[in-house]
Amino acid sequence: ALNHVKETLDPTLSYRWSCHMAVCGSCGMMINNEPKLACKSFLRDYTGVIRVEPLRHFPIQRDLVTVPDDFIAKLARVKPYLMPKEPRTLEAGEYRQTPAELKRYKQFTLCINCMLCYAACPEYGLIPDYIGPAALALAHRYNQDSRDGGRAERQEEVASRAGVWECSFVGACSEVCPEHVDPAGAIQQAKIQSTVDWYKEHLMPWLKK
């Protein structure tokens, strides 16, 4: 429908799209007040007037195009990359992992950065400093990876005032996720790990020696 409007009615209409297959995450927008991917939203599934708006909680660049700078900056803050536990030469081969180790975090690798979870999150709307669902789920993905040794560095952000403890567990982020990543679940798991860290540090300090 948007392509039809642009091609036949208003060539100035601006919106992002790329794959048309719910893979790239570009076409996130509010459809009847719900964060949706436009390419997975079909006219046949709606009756009456359909209201299309830019994603909630983001600055608007033009029409349905939002500015993702804050989202991108927050992804970078959680250091979303492997920090190997120990150096490994090319001759030694790749870092190996069992299927069970992969299963621990595979669900959290499916994020397509569509930002729907940020548009659904009431905490992000109220507290812009909140790191947010996708970034925290991504941090959890790497923290759960058996090959990674960077959890302590990420915890500075994850367990900070703007991290997991800002989440009130409404669960809206997981409800709107088109890839069923369950960022709300990842955040609750990270809260448990953060709590264990606190108890170890304050009640069992000898464990750090």
Helix (H) or strand (E) holding 29: strand 28-31
- Three-state secondary-structure class, residue 16: coil
By C-alpha distance, which of 40, 91, 29 is closest to 62? 29
Domains and CATH numbers, the chain: 2-66 (3.10.20.30), 69-208 (1.10.1060.10)
The model carries a pTM of 0.92
Query: Would you say how long the chain is, in residues?
Result: 209
Q: What is the pLDDT of residue 151?
A: 95
pLDDT in tens, 142-184: 999 999 999 999 999 999 999 999 999 999 999 999 999 999 9
